[in-house]
């Protein structure tokens, strides 16, 4: 799945209301209605995505989705992160989504699911980051804010997040909402594992991602049932200006492929 930014998209007015925050595209307020100022934040950790495209996802090459629509989930776990003085280490976030066309056309539907272990301050910080507020245009969360029209009620739940980049395997589970696994792609003739690496030196979600076969079922507000569809696993680092590392810095830090 590739999120393509359109410069003609203006922020949407749809509200995102949670127990400790109010997320509106174009403004961020805490529970007392006070507008928040720009914050210093950074998160680094593990990322996995699942979409309804065939293995390899043609959207990564600027083509249309395999089956016209785009649906699935994204998930990340923060190894090290902060938002001002709020520590975000160890927390996970999952988002299920649906787009009726290639996602740069907008009209997206999104349901955020935040780690139940997050306290009020951490929840508010995560919603601030997810909102795209005060972020450079063309960066990941700012793009999300531009292409999503409908936000389903945010959920706070136990998130199982198992992830192994070397083995190209992952397991994401949120009881009552979504269950997904990734496994290596296999050669249809020899059954040997087939490695597929997506390299995007100028990417804005990740620089490099391992391709995998994804199996995912959404049972919450956004429903889908995907078998052997596209999945990607990546190390990521994000901040208000987008990817926190240049491609060369990324290669030095993670030493891949």
3-state secondary structure of 52: coil
Distance CA 217, CA 49 (A): 13
Domain for residue 109, yes or no? yes
Structurally, the chain folds into a number of domains equal to 1
Helices 140-147 and 120-130: angle between axes, nearest 10 degrees: 80
- pTM score, two decimals? 0.85
Structure tokens at 48: 């996995």
Low pLDDT (below 70) residues in the chain? 1-36, 256-257
Task: Say if 211 falls within a structural domain.
Answer: yes
Q: What is the pLDDT of residue 33?
A: 52
Residue at 15 is within a domain: no
- With tokens 């999120």, the residue in question is 3
Question: Is residue 143 a part of any domain in this protein?
Answer: yes
Residue 198 belongs to some domain of the structure: yes
Phi and psi of 84, rounded to 5°? 55, -120
pLDDT in the model for residue 257: 59
CA 248-253-257 angle, to 5 degrees, is 75
Query: pLDDT tens, 125-170?
Result: 999 999 999 999 999 999 989 999 999 999 999 999 999 999 999 9
30 within a domain of the structure (yes/no): no
- Asked if the structure places residue 244 within a domain, the reply is yes
What pairing do the DSSP bridges indicate for beta strands 223-239 and 92-99? Answer: unpaired
User: Tens of pLDDT along 190-209?
Assistant: 999 999 999 999 999 999 99
Q: Does a structural domain hold residue 7?
A: no
Q: What is the pLDDT of residue 50?
A: 98
- pLDDT score recorded for residue 144: 87
- pLDDT given at position 62: 78
- Domain ranges, residue 164: 40-254
DSSP letter at 35 equals: B
- In b/e form, how buried is each residue of 142-163, taking b as 16+ CB within 10 angstroms? bbbbbbbeebbebbbbebebeb
């Amino acid at each position: 799945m590739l999120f393509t930014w359109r410069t003609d998209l203006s922020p949407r007015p749809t509200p995102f209301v949670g127990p400790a925050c109010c997320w509106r595209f174009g403004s961020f307020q805490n529970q007392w209605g006070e507008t928040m100022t720009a914050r210093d934040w950074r998160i680094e950790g593990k990322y996995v995505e699942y979409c309804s495209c065939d293995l390899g996802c043609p959207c990564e090459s600027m083509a249309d989705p395999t089956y016209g629509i785009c649906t699935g989930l994204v998930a990340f776990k923060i190894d090290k992160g902060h938002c001002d003085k709020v520590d975000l280490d160890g927390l996970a976030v999952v988002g299920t989504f649906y787009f009726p066309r290639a996602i740069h056309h907008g009209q997206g539907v999104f349901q955020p699911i935040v780690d139940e272990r997050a306290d009020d301050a951490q929840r508010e910080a995560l919603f601030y980051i997810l909102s795209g507020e005060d972020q450079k245009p063309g960066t990941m969360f700012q793009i999300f804010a531009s292409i999503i029209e409908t936000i389903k009620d945010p959920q706070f739940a136990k998130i199982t997040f198992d992830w192994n980049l070397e083995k190209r395997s992952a397991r994401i589970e949120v009881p009552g909402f979504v269950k997904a696994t990734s496994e290596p792609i296999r050669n249809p003739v020899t059954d040997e594992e087939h490695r597929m690496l997506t390299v995007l030196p100028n990417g804005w979600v990740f620089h490099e991602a391992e391709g995998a076969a994804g199996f995912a079922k959404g049972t919450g507000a956004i429903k889908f049932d995907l078998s052997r569809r596209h999945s990607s696993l990546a190390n990521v680092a994000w901040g208000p200006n987008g990817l926190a590392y240049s491609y060369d810095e990324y290669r030095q830090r993670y030493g891949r492929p």
